[in-house]
Structure 1
Amino acid sequence: MKILHTSDWHVGKVLKGQSRLGEQKDALAQLVEVAQAESPDLVIVAGDLYDTAAPTPEATRLVTRALSALRRTGAQVVAIGGNHDNGPALDALRPWAEAAGIALRGGVRDTPAEHVIDGSTADGEPWRLVALPFLSQRYAVRAVEMYELTAAEAVQTYADHVGRLLGRLTEGFDSADRVHLVTAHLTVAGARTGGGEREAHTVLNYAVPSTVFPGSAHYVALGHLHRAQPVLGPCPIRYSGSPLAVDFGEEENIPSVTIVEVSTATSAKVREVPITGAAPLRTVRGTLAELARFADPTAWLRVYVREAPRAGLREEVQELLPRALEVRIDPDLLPAPGAGRAAQRAGRSPRELFGDYLDSRGHADDGVRELFDELYEEATK
């Protein structure tokens, strides 16, 4: 069977105040084109369809249309909730999804069978997919208790709970008559973060070892880390990465989707298909003269300016580079944190204290001090 594995769409993501809904639409349209060209039997969307738990109507429209378009290619479609998604809100869409032929699992349900999805390819090859949406630490304990595995103890870790849940859900994976698949939205220890993940959900307390997945699984389709990569483990495990760079920490990532071909008798063969529908993100450094020579009208830019701080510098940079979303003084030009003496506050005026702050940041523009004086006088009248 052939699988298209994608994740971390983050529809609705705003970058430094810049809406990227148009780029997200283009990236997902290209993803649908890949599905049309590849004719997969199954499409797996491994979480974080949205960027926030309260997506806008436009974001909701884009996600539901993309899922519907993927289903119209003839593939069976399964999507799960990620840590950015609102699991109950996704589950509220299940009547629509079921009517459209889409299996949508927003959160962990109280019946294990809800997370075991059976299907077959057009050629009659059967498959079984365990679909585990994102679990918070608090809910992981509750989920274990729901499934009546054993009493949850305070000393047990998040990895213990996830491992026990997956063990329960994959109990039937020993049979050799079907392709066994898992999809989950989580962090596996040893994988590399991609730059835009929510840090609180990628730290060690949320990391699980790859051994939570059974060796009998033919393929594990993961979401959460935005860098496409395989993970060493007892079976083929992979992050598909995001189809577009979500923030400037991801500018080195290559947005893509993963195509997997696997059967009960053959190991998973994996290849990446690049997605180029969104604008690239770039970080550039230099003086104003050097920045003036930078020519890339397509990229969104983070700019580190190698000039002394002064009033109006940001505006000068943005006049040169209209697609600069973030403008900062190059950190190499700034004093090291803690350098210089700490300001003595007692008996000193706000102007003197502000002057100390400007000096500590290498900001020698007298116009900024004069502007502070005017604002302070206005505020204290």
Structure 2
Amino acid sequence: MKILHTSDWHIGRTFHGHSTLEHLRQVFAALVELVRENDVDVVVVAGDVFDSSMPSAECFSVLSGVLRDIRAAGAAVVMTSGNHDSATRLGFQSEWAGLAGIHIFTRHDQYLEPVTIDDEYGPVDFYGIPYLEPSMLRHHHPEAELRTHEQALTFAMTAVRADAAARESRSVVVSHCFASGVAAQEEASDVERDITSGGLNLVPASVFDGPDYVALGHIHGRSTISDRVRYSGAPLHYSFGEAGKPRGGWLVELDAGGLDTVGWLDLPIPRRLSVLTGELDDLLGSDAFAGFEDDWVAAVITDQVRPMDAMRRLQDRFPHCATLEFRPSVTAETSAATYGERIAGRSDTEIVADFLTHVRNGVGPTEYETALVASVLTEQQVSS
């Protein structure tokens, strides 16, 4: 059996105010081609199908289109809800979707009802664990201590292992969580809303012992916890923190004995993300930056004095410049002395010059500005 492990589609996500739906359609078209070219049997989506709990009608249209095309390419679909999804909306009419080979796990106890898909070696049981918020799960199980994500997933995986042992067949688990073995602060982007706090959201990889393969979602960069426990990452770059990370999915092959091989399949990147650093004139005029003109650009301006109208000027050359940061290459030293102590014994001209040097990060007044200040102060003294 060939399984394409994906996750975190985030349909409806915007990128600095720009819709990503058209780019996502391009990536989904490529994903369908991968399914067809590699004779994939099952496509897994490990949570965060939508970016919002209230997706628009257009988002549902994008989802319906890619699911229809995956089925037409010959693969079944197994997906779970993530923390961004509304389990109710995503799971609406999932019973009928299952009859068409699209299996959606959204209920808190649905992992007790695996989907069985056969290949030439026999059955493979897919256990979908939707995002389990401990505060909600413990209302259904007051007899258990369910205060952390580790406890919630341990509770679910204990039941999964017992069921899988009784069936004596190969098994795949799909889950949406932060698993230990991933540097969460490094791998997680600003898209994930619940970065680990005090370790309460972190789940030890040992919790997932047992299944032949564990398809994880929630981290937007691909990551390998072990040969059989992996993150695929998101299909698009959704923040500049993800720039440079490959986009794609894991092609997982099961043989008669369980996990056989795992390989990576790349997806196209419709528009690169680039962080450009330099003085504004260099960014606007240097040929060294010509290759970035069609990229999503995060510009870091290092001029000593903040340039006027920098974003508009940048967008003349880089139409997709999305963010601008002013970060002077040299900054003025700060002092703990009081204002009165700093100006004691200094002339008005020197005080104004010091002020300009401070607000310009170490760049003092020009000759023209010095003369202008002196002239104004002289006029003030004469009039008084």
Q: Give the distance between the partners of 2:337 and 2:93, measured in 1 at CA.
A: 58
Residues 161-213 of structure 1, C-alpha deviations (whole Å, 9 max, x = no match): 21011111231323685221100000101213242442424442111001111
Deviation at 1:82, TM superposition (A): 0.8
Q: 1:342 to 1:205 in 2, by over 3 A?
A: farther
Whichever residue aligns with residue 182 of structure 1, its letter is V
Q: 1:334 to 1:205 in 2, by over 3 A?
A: farther
Match of 2:310 among 310, 313, 320: 313
Matches within 5 A, 1:301-380: 301-307=297-303, 308-330=305-327, 332-333=329-330, 362=361
Do the aligned residues in 2 keep the contact of 1:36 with 1:73 (CA within 8 Å)?
Answer: yes
Q: Give the distance between the partners of 2:224 and 2:103, measured in 1 at CA.
A: 25
Matches within 5 A, 1:189-200: 189-192=180-183, 193-200=187-194
Q: Which blocks of at least 5 consecutive residues in structure 1 are unaligned?
A: 345-355, 367-381
1:7 equivalent in alignment to 2:4: no
Alignment-derived partner of residue 229 in structure 1: 223
Do the aligned residues in 2 keep the contact of 1:47 with 1:133 (CA within 8 Å)?
Answer: yes
Alignment-derived partner of residue 55 in structure 2: 55
Match of 1:186 among 173, 177, 186: 177
Alignment-derived partner of residue 220 in structure 1: 214
Alignment-derived partner of residue 144 in structure 2: 151
Q: Give the distance between the partners of 1:133 and 1:257, measured in 2 at CA.
A: 20
Partner-residue secondary structure (3-state), 1:205: coil
Stretch of structure 1 that moved more, 321-330 or 90-99:
90-99
Superposed CA RMSD in Å reads: 2.9
Alignment-derived partner of residue 270 in structure 1: 262
Whichever residue aligns with residue 205 of structure 2, its letter is S
Do the aligned residues in 1 keep the contact of 2:121 with 2:255 (CA within 8 Å)?
Answer: no
Q: Give the distance between the partners of 1:339 and 1:49, measured in 2 at CA.
A: 51
TM-score (norm 2): 0.81
Do the aligned residues in 2 keep the contact of 1:126 with 1:177 (CA within 8 Å)?
Answer: no
TM-score (norm 1): 0.81
Matches within 5 A, 1:41-52: 41-52=41-52
Residues 242-281 of structure 1, C-alpha deviations (whole Å, 9 max, x = no match): 1111110000210111100112425341111111142111
Matches within 5 A, 1:3-152: 3-95=3-95, 97-109=97-109, 113-114=112-113, 116-121=114-119, 123=120, 125-145=122-142, 150-152=143-145
Number of paired residues?
343
Whichever residue aligns with residue 175 of structure 2, its letter is A
Deviation at 1:96, TM superposition (A): 5.1
Deviation at 1:95, TM superposition (A): 4.6
Alignment-derived partner of residue 283 in structure 2: 291
Q: Give the distance between the partners of 1:65 and 1:339, measured in 2 at CA.
A: 61
Q: Give the distance between the partners of 1:298 and 1:174, measured in 2 at CA.
A: 53
Do the aligned residues in 2 keep the contact of 1:218 with 1:264 (CA within 8 Å)?
Answer: no
Residues 78-123 of structure 1, C-alpha deviations (whole Å, 9 max, x = no match): 11111111111111141552353211122414x6534x222212x2
Partner-residue secondary structure (3-state), 2:127: strand
Residues 197-233 of structure 1, C-alpha deviations (whole Å, 9 max, x = no match): 424244421110011113x31100011101111103x
Q: Give the distance between the partners of 1:68 and 1:339, measured in 2 at CA.
A: 65
Q: Give the distance between the partners of 1:96 and 1:331, measured in 2 at CA.
A: 59
* Larger gyration radius, structure 1 or structure 2: 2
Deviation at 1:160, TM superposition (A): 1.6
Residues 326-372 of structure 1, C-alpha deviations (whole Å, 9 max, x = no match): 11112655568x8777999xxxxxxxxxxx99955749999xxxxxx
Deviation at 1:158, TM superposition (A): 2.8
Q: Give the distance between the partners of 2:339 and 2:164, measured in 1 at CA.
A: 66
Do the aligned residues in 2 keep the contact of 1:309 with 1:362 (CA within 8 Å)?
Answer: no
